[in-house]
Structure 1
Amino acid sequence: MKQQLMTLLLGATTVLCSCDSQVTQREKNDLRAPAYPLVTIDPYTSAWAFTDNLYDGSVKHWTGKDFPLVGVAKVDGQTYRFMGTEELELRPLAKTSEQGNWTGKYTTRKPADGWQNPEFNDKAWKEGEAAFGTMENEHTAKTQWGEEFIWVRRIIDIPEDLSGKNVYLEYSHDDDVIIYINGIKVVDTGNACKKHVQVKLSEEAVASLKPGENMIAAYCHNRVGNGLLDFGLLVELDDYRYFHQTAEQTSVDVQPMQTYYSFICGPVDLKVTFTAPLFMDNLDLLSRPVNYISYEVVSNDGRKHQVELYFEASPQWALDTPHQKSVADSLTEDGLLFLCTGNRIQDILEKKGDDVRIDWGRFYLAAEKENSMYAIGDGKKLRKSFIENKLEAPSTEGYDKLALVRSLGETKKSEGHLLIGYDDIYSIQYFGENLRPYWNRQDNETIISQFRKAEKEYEAQMKNCAVFDRKMMDEATAAGGRKYAELCALAYRQAIAAHKLVEAPNGDLLFLSKENFSNGSIGTVDITYPSAPLFLLYNPELVKAMMNHIFYYSESGKWTKPFAAHDVGTYPLANGQTYGGDMPVEESGNMLLLTAAIAAVEGNADYARKHWETLTTWADYLVGYGLDPENQLCTDDFAGHFAHNANLSIKAILGIASYGYLAEQLGKKDIADKYTRKAKEMAAEWMKMAHDGDHYRLTFDKPGTWSQKYNLVWDKLIKLQIFPESVAETEIAYYLTKQDKYGLPLDNRETYTKTDWIMWTATLANDKSTFGKFIDPVYLFMNETTDRVPMSDWVFTDTPTQKGFQARSVVGGYFIKMLENKLTK
């Protein structure tokens, strides 16, 4: 199969490269993205712009931590910063738990009024070491906090006068947090969950900080699941900026594989393009850990100008925290200049967790050696020397920056590119065995060979990406309208880059997701389920690779329960489920439905045949327990446990129907008839139990409730014909009466929603116009949200704010409308 995919790609490449240039002309994406994808390789090497202008803030990892990448154009001696900011240099005044050790007084019982004030008597409170949190899930937690509430008081000693200084509070929290400095409220997040937030203190708060003892007091509410509280103070260093003048950004445009920026730098125009050639029909290319940064400079006054482009990268690209020590180096090979950096201590695959970045392997920045200059060292000295027409800097003994300058000479027009990438050496630990990335699965490749291939293919891949982008946008527009297409463009790289591709010891392909900003689980079934439409559309082999580990887990005897596991560990350690609660109906239904979807796309049930015994066990479990689910979690686990879930029951019924569908495909007619008949009987019973007049209930036992029945979409797409079409029609009509400004709530309990489920719900509609009525509010949310992060899928519908989650692969579910077109042609 892999060989067939390679053959197909080679043929496609010839066609793409020979296409007329007009085919690649794009229509601009007008969506103001919450964050713009720049470098998208995998869950660790994933860089975004969180601001409208590329130069308004630091380039960031999807978690929000800085991945400093600075770009400056020097034109006739004048500098214009077009990318990133000079790294905010902060000195800790009171370290967070990740910067050092601190202790505080705490209580989990509501204290008397005035607890936040310095003079409050806290002698009866306990003393604990920060951070405070659920130690089983939060790697920074040193004091167990599993209760619903916590109040913490921390005395800090400030040795200096801070008058006129910029002081920042850094904090991490899960969930609601309120923080006071010397009794002055400085943070009140409401219902939210974030890590490593830095907020500049008001003049009033800074004025209250006197030399000597000061008080930081915080309250946190753990609503469900994980808990975390940590905080500290930092002060900004003086005189570290050299690139004060910025370019003028004139446009930004997100296409599926490329993000285009345009700038004016005085007398020249500059275009910068970030490209990730994520072709899903070429797995070696999909897994190649190299992206492109292209540039084009054109005179806008008809004259020649002396132009240089300066690029500076920080070792934070290869560190979990900026306080770790790094090493840096350079080399040249085959006409390419390489700069690289990495952690001084190489503890490969030693860390796991959610808000964790890679700190093993090496980050690389490369360009043609000709007309390139480079230096490695202190960032401030690098910038100063570039302004002074030289490039040199002393070492910092552990935090050297990488600087690369492209000299374009005196020119009216010039273009070129850089390559940016990462060698993680080993990517995943799979049931005790460390696995190399897919591109080096046979241990016969090097990061240098990958860069060489990327360099050789640059021209062809840029054309191929442009052709793919145009084609995908045309097809998405035809399926769901222009706004739908623009959302899909933003979702494409996000969904893919939240996975890592490896090969298991038994030869299975593994495309393992990371639960970004939910709990960090690896290979989660209820992440695979919503993500799958994108991969079903472009390569069902990748959907199998998102499921193989779950089948192996059961079939190897490592997982012995009669239903599917939730996950196989915490990223990047896939050694067995680490999630605290099972989701029996949810995950079994997901696996059966996706196996049926693969059969529908491929036109055969060969994949199901391989795992028939396991699928039978799961189907029988759903027959016994799926109609009226007991008190348990579903994929929307943030809502907590609850019983009699009508939407979860639909999943169980359609999971049983999927088993019947697969049996039919395999010629097992008696089995097919039995399970299909059972599914129809359960569906008829469901309609009686869930009926609530003009809609169907959230739970069978609660009249007057409602919820999105997004699981129904597979009845339509796979043509299972289990539920009457009137069920979906009734629900769609009802949902249109419940929409808020920014979307359809998930159910009647809260004003939050899941944008991926809205896409599925909208696909139940029988016409494009009605589909668009559900998509428009989601588009409006993404266009107006004040939370500038890679697309969140868990957001409020009445305010433009996220509830939680970001950069998750589940936005692959946006492609379900395009998948419908493929399956129902």
Structure 2
Amino acid sequence: MQKRNIFCPLFLLVVSLLAFFSCSNSQELIESQTTELRAPAYPLITIDPYTSAWSESDNLYDSPVRHWTGKTHSLIGAIRVDGEVYRFLGQIDVPWVPVLPSANYESWEGQYTFSEPKEGWEKPGFNDKKWETGEGAFGTPEMPSLKTVWDTKDIWVRRTFDLPTDLPGGDIYLIYSHDDIFELYLNGTQLVATQYEWHNNVVLKIDRSLLNEGEANVIAAHCHNRTGGGYVDFGLFQESEKKDIFAQTAVQNKVALSATQTNYSFTCGPVDLKLQFVSPLLPDDLNLLSRPVNYINYQVNSNDGAKHDVQVYFETTPQWAVNEVSQEVEVSKGETGNIGFVKAGTTEQPVLQKKGDNVRIDWGYVYLAAKKTENTTLAIGDYFDSKATFIKNGTLEGPETMTAKMTKKMPAMVCIEKLGSVGQDASTGYVMIAYDDLESIQYFGNNLKAWWTENGTKTINDALQAASAEHDKVMKRCVDFDNGLWNETLAAGGKNYADLCVLAFRQSIAAHKLVKDTEGNILFLSKENFSNGSIGTVDVTYPSAPLFLKYNPDLLKGMLNPIFYYSESGKWAKPFAAHDVGTYPLANGQTYGGDMPVEECGNMVILTAAIAEMEGNADYAAKHWDVLTVWANYLLENGLDPENQLCTDDFAGHFAHNVNLSVKAIMGIASYGKMARMLGKEEMAEKYTSEAKSMAAKWVDMAKDGDHYRLTFDQPGTWSQKYNLVWDKLMNLGIFPPEVAETEIAYYLTKQNKYGLPLDNRRTYTKSDWIVWTATLAGDQETFEKFIDPVHQYVTDTPDRVPMSDWYETPDAKQVGFQARSVVGGYFIKLLE
């Protein structure tokens, strides 16, 4: 018998494996179908409401990377080519030098009163001895760096100071934060006067001649809090003498977006660089969606035919893990399996101790991680020295740990990849940004860990190893999902509509946190970003819902479950649905100051019916039938002509006889009837469906105003968007005559401004999500696009470089308020047709 030669196939296998591993770093990046548009801000790292970092400039290197609240979450990238360094990511955020520190540097003392003072209160010679003395910042509870609680409508503050005699020459800047209507004076000269708006860390260069050298100066401020949070903080600063070390930038050639990726391409002298920021927020894989790890993929190749010596530098800072930079942090190195990392967090670790809107996480740890190889360096260093060393040597060495207060010394967390001699064949790699929040949400007294931990059995080490091991597979899944979403949205609404959906996808999902309650039920809790910081807000869930109805209704159940539990447990005893379950991240019960009875009942019943429509059964509704019945009956009794109350557009204030709110009530009643029929409750189905049709007929008579329908039943000559009508079309309820929507759509086309359709006749501002809902009422594609195109133009023209705002002025595209909110998930409503 002839012997088998096992050496040859074994040899070939070994050679093949060696070839694979030596070339696996030379495969080109796989890319999704992308779209190029000028976004208000570009999503880079989007995990949850706390770990959410954005680029606010057209070129990636023209501004520091920032958290959605506006605070710097430094992320810097540079490439060293034959000893020449080009910065491609972020911008060095040179620290301000305080002349008169604001509260995020240190607390400060001022005089204040809640009673309107006499004339001249803003001038240096005013007698403020009868005013109270307190420390800044001043504001409502949970505001940042708060020292003195202010919970009345108005506050007047005076801060007297002497200029330091050794103050360097050069410009002086006022940096201030306020919420809401604000006026500020320097030595009696007014420098700031705002309308109903709120801003953080606004920088204003001041005329130095307004300051008195050698004698007392006074900054005086008045703030009126119309609703929600209130805040006052200010200080004087000069620019640091330190300069940008990575001064030379690459040349950006392109930025393009897909649902899960933001892709850039650069020329860096004789090499080209591609960069991908990837957030694997795949709705059909909850473990992956929850995993707190994002990728930064890179690809480098020569563009001149020659080979070049290349090192790539990525750097972040502990700013990602603090609420304020004045907090002390500890940075350390570590490893897990084949992954090395640098991590940072506060020394204090106040787990779930802070809640509020303009608040960042200051517990848990941020990670910069990469595969361990002989060409990978992970190091800790000084913010400026690390860059200087990389410029000089292309390497970095540092301590194993560092403890620092960032206002005095900013640590750098650095990963350097030595790519060696790079030619025309692509050299690729990736680093990972991760965040371990330890405990995510407090839910009615219980601290809950993130979904990905599988009830605490998985650690961040497991997550990092899994993210690395599955990198290539995850990338392929992201590309497949992105391409599918693009094709669907393009077919449904055209390119401008597809652009809006792509930009909305990560923003909407990352404004939530995914956890399980103690019984194992899914909870997908939103944060009401830059509106009031509520958690699990029903009238934020309602406009956000279409994205989740389309891609995974279980996530929408996770948004509704907290409200169902709140009522069914008896913790919320009112006969209508609650507005929220707390202030993020503490979900222990409603904290919003007012109720929205018809609004929230309608929202809950409609969305439960929408889930039934998407799933083809009413099983979820059956679990909550008793409380749904209570809410449906509330709508029957109170919904046709609502009393004076708020609706989801609460920024517009209370008003009675709201015609669009009445539509919501009628849709809620019809939705209940639909679910009853799906559950075989025919008599009940007939009752509620008939009642809804009867109410709709009355609505038509009460709301009709010639060629359109009114804003309120009692005010002729008014109008509003009736976006709540969309459910009659989407769920084929057959409640309102078709001519109602046709009449409204035709009228709206006469009321559009350059950047879209106003919300109603009272103001020129609008809500972009409602415009898309209204557009979906259109009977044809051409009319739909007439509403969408101005919204797209708003996104590409707005001067406000923040994560997309949904509340803006239609004449000039300026942001009114709100940013980074989940409600842009409502853009996906057209796909529900």
TM-score, normalised relative to structure 1: 0.93
Letter in 2 for 1:378: D
Q: Please point out which of 229, 241, 251 is paired with 2:232.
A: 229
Q: What's the CA shift string for 1:434-481, capped at 9, x where partnerless? A: 001001132211111111111111112112212221221111011111
Structure 1 residues without counterparts, runs of 5 or longer: 1-20, 821-825
Q: Distance in 2 between matches of 1:686 and 1:141?
A: 51
Instruction: Please state if 1:373 is matched with 2:377.
Output: yes
1:242 Cα offset (Å): 1.3
Instruction: Please state if 1:750 is matched with 2:750.
Output: no
In structure 2, what is the equivalent of residue 331 of structure 1?
334
Q: Is the 8 A contact 2:144 2:359 kept in 1?
A: no
1:800 Cα offset (Å): 1.9
In structure 1, what is the equivalent of residue 446 of structure 2?
433
Letter in 1 for 2:436: D
1:741 Cα offset (Å): 1.0
Q: Please point out which of 215, 218, 227 is paired with 1:215.
A: 218
Q: Distance in 1 between matches of 2:635 and 2:707?
A: 28
Q: Distance in 2 between matches of 1:27 and 1:500?
A: 28
Q: Is the 8 A contact 1:763 1:817 kept in 2?
A: yes
Instruction: Please state if 1:201 is matched with 2:214.
Output: no
Q: Please point out which of 231, 251, 255 is paired with 1:252.
A: 255
Q: Distance in 2 between matches of 1:205 and 1:116?
A: 18
1:95 Cα offset (Å): 2.4
Instruction: Please state if 1:494 is matched with 2:497.
Output: no
Q: Is the 8 A contact 1:377 1:396 kept in 2?
A: no
Aligned residues: 797
Aligned-partner SS, 1:201 = strand
In structure 1, what is the equivalent of residue 784 of structure 2?
771
Letter in 2 for 1:397: A
In structure 2, what is the equivalent of residue 789 of structure 1?
802
Q: Distance in 2 between matches of 1:139 and 1:644?
A: 42
In structure 2, what is the equivalent of residue 467 of structure 1?
480
1:711-726 map, 5 Å: 711-726=724-739
Instruction: Please state if 1:405 is matched with 2:416.
Output: yes
Q: Distance in 2 between matches of 1:747 and 1:46?
A: 33
Q: Please point out which of 256, 274, 297 is paired with 2:277.
A: 274
TM-score, normalised relative to structure 2: 0.93
In structure 1, what is the equivalent of residue 148 of structure 2?
142
Q: What's the CA shift string for 1:696-738, capped at 9, x where partnerless? A: 1111111111111100000100011110111111111111111
1:153-552 map, 5 Å: 153-195=158-200, 197-202=201-206, 204-205=207-208, 208=211, 210=213, 213-370=216-373, 371-389=375-393, 390-393=395-398, 395=402, 397-399=404-406, 400-412=411-423, 413-552=426-565
In structure 1, what is the equivalent of residue 41 of structure 2?
35
Q: Distance in 2 between matches of 1:687 and 1:522?
A: 36
Q: Distance in 1 between matches of 2:212 and 2:265?
A: 44
Aligned-partner SS, 1:322 = coil
Aligned-partner SS, 1:582 = coil
Aligned-partner SS, 2:404 = coil
Structure 2 residues without counterparts, runs of 5 or longer: 1-26
Q: What's the CA shift string for 1:323-378, capped at 9, x where partnerless? A: 10111111223222111111111111111111111111111111121111132132
Q: What's the CA shift string for 1:495-534, capped at 9, x where partnerless? A: 0000000001112100000000011111111111000000
Q: Distance in 2 between matches of 1:136 and 1:305?
A: 53
Q: Is the 8 A contact 2:104 2:325 kept in 1?
A: no
Letter in 2 for 1:773: K
In structure 2, what is the equivalent of residue 83 of structure 1?
89
Q: Is the 8 A contact 1:315 1:341 kept in 2?
A: yes
Q: What's the CA shift string for 1:297-332, capped at 9, x where partnerless? A: 111111111111111111011111111011111122
Q: Distance in 1 between matches of 2:214 and 2:305?
A: 59
In structure 2, what is the equivalent of residue 15 of structure 1?
none
Instruction: Please state if 1:577 is matched with 2:590.
Output: yes
1:127 Cα offset (Å): 4.3
Letter in 2 for 1:262: S
Aligned-partner SS, 1:547 = helix
Q: Is the 8 A contact 2:720 2:760 kept in 1?
A: yes
In structure 1, what is the equivalent of residue 600 of structure 2?
587
Q: Distance in 2 between matches of 1:58 and 1:206?
A: 31
Q: Is the 8 A contact 1:128 1:143 kept in 2?
A: no
- Taking every aligned residue pair, what percent have the same amino acid on both sides? 58
Q: Distance in 1 between matches of 2:62 and 2:69?
A: 18
Q: Distance in 2 between matches of 1:468 and 1:209?
A: 62
In structure 2, what is the equivalent of residue 8 of structure 1?
none
Q: Distance in 2 between matches of 1:398 and 1:377?
A: 14
1:23 Cα offset (Å): 14
Q: Distance in 1 between matches of 2:212 and 2:527?
A: 41
Q: Is the 8 A contact 2:29 2:428 kept in 1?
A: no
1:233–1:396 Cα change, 3 Å: farther
Aligned-partner SS, 2:643 = coil
In structure 2, what is the equivalent of residue 13 of structure 1?
none
1:367–1:647 Cα change, 3 Å: same
1:206–1:76 Cα change, 3 Å: farther
Q: Distance in 2 between matches of 1:378 and 1:456?
A: 32
Q: Is the 8 A contact 2:113 2:155 kept in 1?
A: yes
Cα RMSD of the aligned pairs, angstroms, is 2.0
Letter in 2 for 1:511: F
Q: What's the CA shift string for 1:13-57, capped at 9, x where partnerless? A: xxxxxxxx9998655423210000000100001110011111111
Structure with greater Cα Rg = 2
1:573–1:680 Cα change, 3 Å: same
Q: Is the 8 A contact 1:753 1:795 kept in 2?
A: yes
Q: What's the CA shift string for 1:791-814, capped at 9, x where partnerless? A: 001111112211100000000000
After superposing the two structures, state which structure 1 stretch, 384-393 or 698-707, moved more.
384-393
1:483 Cα offset (Å): 0.5
Q: Is the 8 A contact 1:24 1:467 kept in 2?
A: no
Aligned-partner SS, 2:565 = helix
In structure 2, what is the equivalent of residue 50 of structure 1?
56
Q: What's the CA shift string for 1:645-697, capped at 9, x where partnerless? A: 11111101110111000000000000000000011111111111111111111
In structure 1, what is the equivalent of residue 683 of structure 2?
670
